[in-house]
Amino acid sequence: MRIETLAVRAGRRPDPATGAVAPPIVLSTTFERAGDGSYPGGYVYSRTGNPNRGALESCLAALEGGEAAAALASGQAAALAVFLSLAPGDHVLLPEDAYHGTARLAREILVPWGLEATFADLTDLGAAERSLRPNTRLIWAETPSNPLLKVTDLAGLAGIAKGAGARLACDNTWATPILQRPLALGADLAVHAATKYIGGHSDLTLGIVVAKRDDAFFQRVRARQHTSGAVPSPFDCWLALRGAETLPVRMRAHSEGAQRVAEFLAAHPAAERVHYPGLPGHPGRETAMRQMSLPGGMVSFEVGGGAERALAVAAGCRLFTQATSLGGNESLIEHRASVEGSGTRTPPGLLRLSVGLEHPDDLIEDLKQALG
């Protein structure tokens, strides 16, 4: 089946007890055993499994083309479950411009726990290869990257991982399976902050790990989900599954709007640099066109005059809301460096846009008046 159909149908069926077409939210923490001690519904206790979570996991596994998925309480919890499925002493390779939460996870929790971590420019496959060690067990990719929209060649990186006996995981939050399918490109795991586009309405926090194979490594991820207990609520799973239904339609509209906004900015003298893989001249454009069906809904640009001017432009927007996060229906603008704080690698004059579903002409008019 095609992805639009899977988005609406995978993981759903009318409720056998009532015939309800929209799935009921199951709040029960515990499930009755039959006389023979079995669990006829397949559920035992809500930390280890819940029907709303199960439905969401089936849907996301189908969208990414994986055998299994595990939903966790946030994108961070999902990433943590993957890293903690390695063993102390293992080496992981991460992008030098990884999402700042992922970089902090590595530096503040995983390295003290015993992992070795190297941050490298994974858009350069030679640099990736040179950063491998005999004990490298995982390469973590994120493409397009935050906030510079750098594009990493996933098929190339998958080849390097395979040659090294390591797994490749891709944080696919920005592209979503609608625009990019890492497992089909050779990755072993696709990881999401469903908080963003999958939820799509800025009203839930949830993470998902999708595995190409339901193998021993994924069983370790599952065990971390069950035992660490960072599981999402039934209601958040219900909301995320509802979000997934419209994901294909929304992603196309986000991308169409972002392309228009990026082209406007590229022609505006106050925007010194515009980062969007859909623009000619973007260094990752060719790779993006090969591995993504559309360039996506995120754009960033740099204004002269540093942080002060960038913050003034953000404050001058009337339609774009000045807030962090991304992937909602409403457009957001964010001065990224001040959110990331000390040690940030983000240029001080950079503003990041999450282009929502408003009419692109209204968004362009807003940026025009804010840029002056």
The residues that are catalytic are 47, 99, 171, 196
Confirm or reject binding of residue 146 to ligand PLP (CB under 6 A).
Answer: yes
Residues 276, 285: Cα–Cα separation, whole Å: 8
| Residue 327, strand partner residues | none
Nearer to ligand PLP, 254 or 263 (CB): 254
Confirm or reject binding of residue 207 to ligand PLP (CB under 6 A).
Answer: yes
Among 50, 52, 74, 131, binds ligand PLP (CB under 6 A): 74
Rg of the chain over Cα atoms, rounded to whole angstroms, equals 21
Confirm or reject binding of residue 180 to ligand PLP (CB under 6 A).
Answer: no
Locate 372 and state its tokens: 């002056």
Residue type, 201: H
Of the candidates 209, 216, 203, 220, which has an alpha carbon nearest to the alpha carbon of residue 187?
A: 209
* Segment near ligand PLP (CB under 6 A); pick from 72-80, 259-267, 270-278, 360-368: 72-80
Confirm or reject binding of residue 300 to ligand PLP (CB under 6 A).
Answer: no
User: Site size for ligand PLP, by CB under 6 A?
Assistant: 15
Confirm or reject binding of residue 346 to ligand PLP (CB under 6 A).
Answer: no
Residues 122, 369: Cα–Cα separation, whole Å: 37
Of the candidates 276, 334, 272, which has an alpha carbon nearest to the alpha carbon of residue 303?
A: 272
Residues 214, 212: Cα–Cα separation, whole Å: 7
| Residue 226, strand partner residues | none
* Smallest separation (angstroms) from ligand PLP to the CB of 75: 2
Longest dimension (CA), the chain: 74
Residue type, 32: E
* Smallest separation (angstroms) from ligand PLP to the CB of 9: 26
- E strands, 122-199, in order: 136-142, 167-171, 189-193
Contact set for ligand PLP, span 84-103 (CB under 6 A): 99, 101
* Segment near ligand PLP (CB under 6 A); pick from 61-69, 188-196, 215-223, 343-351: 188-196
Nearer to ligand PLP, 103 or 370 (CB): 103
Mode of pairing for the β-strands spanning 189-193 and 207-211: antiparallel
Confirm or reject binding of residue 195 to ligand PLP (CB under 6 A).
Answer: yes
* Smallest separation (angstroms) from ligand PLP to the CB of 337: 16
* Smallest separation (angstroms) from ligand PLP to the CB of 92: 15
Q: Note the residues at the interface with ligand PLP (CB under 6 A).
A: 74-76, 99, 101, 142, 146, 171, 173-174, 193, 195-196, 205, 207
